[in-house]
C-alpha cells in the first residue's frame, strides 16, 4: 500500500472511530424544579438559570456527558426519577426517611436551615395551642409541609402551593399568616425585598429533613455508580473553588463549610 493510501486508510479509520465514540457519548436527563430562586429559575427567554443548573452543567462538563435538564414541579421529581424518565434530580432535596427508602442521596450541595416567616408585629408560640387557626402556606410535597403536619396536626390551617413564588405573593397580600422555608431563599427572595419589609424569621433554625442537616441531589437505587461519579465530580468542583465562583453571582452566603478555604 502506498504511503498516501495508508494515511487515507488511517484517517478514515480514525473518522469512523470518532463517529462511533460520538454516537456513544453518554446522555443524562436531569430533573430540576426551575422555580426556586436563586437556586433555579427560568429567565424571560425560557432558559433555565440559577445556581443549581449552573453547578449541574459544570458537573456534566467535567464528567464528559451530554446533559438535558428538564423542568417540573418539585413534587413530580421523585416520581419521574422512579419511572426512569430522569437519571438524577439536581434540585436540592432533604433526606426524609421515606425518601431515603426510595432513592439514593448524594453528598450535600448546601446546608440551609428552615425558619418560620412571620409578620414583624407577631410573637407566636410554636405549639399547637400557640398556632391555633393560623394559615400557613407551604409547598406541596415538601419536607416543611410534612414537618408542620406532624408537629401541629389540625391546629393549623395548611394552604398548599406548587411553588414558593405563589406563597410569597399570598403572604404579601395578607392571605396567609406565615410560612416555613429555607432561610437563604427567603432572605434573598422576600425579606430583603420591599414586600418583605414587615416580615421576620421566628422559631429558630430547624432541620426539617428528618433531623438530618443538609440537602443533596439524588439518583435511583439502581444508579449507585452514577451517583458516585456525581459525588466525585462535585468534590473537585468544591475543592478548586469553582463551586464558590458559581455561587457568588446568585448569593453572598456560603452554602458549604468547605467554602471557607475559598474566601
Express each pLDDT in 63-93 by its tens digit: 999 999 999 999 999 999 999 999 999 999 9
In the predicted model, what is the mean pLDDT of the chain? 92
In sequence order, which residues have a C-beta less than 8 Å from that of residue 255 and are 6 or more positions away?
109, 110, 111, 112, 184, 243, 247
> Residues of the chain with pLDDT > 90: what percent?
86
| Residue 12: pLDDT over 90 | no
CATH, domain range 114-206: 3.40.190.10
pLDDT category at 16 given cuts 50, 70, 90 is very low
Residue 149 sits at φ, ψ, to 5 deg, of -60, -45
Same fold for the domain at 27-111+214-261 and the one at 114-206?
Answer: yes
What mean pLDDT is predicted for residues 211-233? 96
Which DSSP symbol is given to 226?
A: H
Q: Could you state, in order of their start, the residue ranges of all structural domains in the chain?
A: 27-111+214-261, 114-206
**Burial profile 4-40: b = 16 or more Cβ within 10 angstroms, e = fewer:** eeeeeeeeeeeeeeeeeeeeeeeebbbbbbbbbbbbb
Per-residue pLDDT at 7 exceeds 70: no
The answer to whether 110 and 54 are in contact (CB under 8 A) is: no
Q: Which CATH number fits the domain 27-111+214-261, given the four candidates 3.40.630.30, 3.20.20.100, 3.40.50.620, 3.40.190.10?
A: 3.40.190.10
Confidence category of residue 5, pLDDT binned at 50, 70, 90:
low
pTM for the model stands at: 0.82
As a whole number, mean pLDDT of residues 34-56 equals 95
Amino acid at each position: 500500500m502506498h504511503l498516501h493510501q495508508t494515511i487515507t486508510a488511517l484517517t478514515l479509520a480514525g473518522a469512523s472511530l470518532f463517529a462511533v465514540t460520538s454516537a456513544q457519548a453518554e446522555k443524562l436527563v436531569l430533573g430540576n424544579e426551575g422555580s426556586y430562586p436563586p437556586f433555579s429559575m427560568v429567565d424571560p427567554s425560557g432558559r433555565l438559570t440559577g445556581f443549581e443548573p449552573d453547578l449541574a452543567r459544570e458537573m456534566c462538563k467535567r464528567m464528559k456527558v451530554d446533559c438535558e435538564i428538564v423542568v417540573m414541579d418539585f413534587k413530580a421529581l421523585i416520581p419521574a426519577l422512579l419511572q426512569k424518565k430522569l437519571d438524577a434530580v439536581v434540585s436540592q432535596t432533604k433526606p426524609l426517611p421515606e425518601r431515603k427508602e426510595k432513592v439514593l442521596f448524594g453528598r450535600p450541595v448546601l446546608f440551609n436551615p428552615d425558619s418560620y416567616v412571620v409578620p414583624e408585629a407577631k410573637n407566636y408560640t410554636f405549639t399547637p395551642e400557640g398556632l391555633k387557626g393560623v394559615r400557613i402556606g407551604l409547598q406541596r410535597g415538601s419536607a416543611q409541609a410534612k414537618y408542620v403536619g406532624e408537629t401541629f396536626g389540625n391546629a393549623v390551617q395548611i394552604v398548599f402551593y406548587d411553588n414558593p413564588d405563589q406563597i410569597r405573593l399570598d403572604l404579601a397580600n395578607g392571605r396567609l399568616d406565615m410560612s416555613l422555608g429555607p432561610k437563604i431563599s427567603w432572605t434573598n427572595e422576600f425579606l430583603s425585598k420591599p414586600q418583605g419589609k414587615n416580615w421576620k424569621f421566628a422559631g429558630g433554625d430547624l432541620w426539617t429533613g428528618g433531623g438530618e442537616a443538609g440537602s443533596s441531589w439524588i439518583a435511583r437505587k439502581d444508579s449507585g455508580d452514577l451517583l458516585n461519579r456525581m459525588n466525585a465530580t462535585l468534590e473537585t468542583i468544591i475543592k478548586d473553588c469553582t463551586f464558590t465562583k458559581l455561587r457568588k453571582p446568585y448569593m453572598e452566603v456560603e452554602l458549604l463549610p468547605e467554602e471557607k478555604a475559598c474566601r
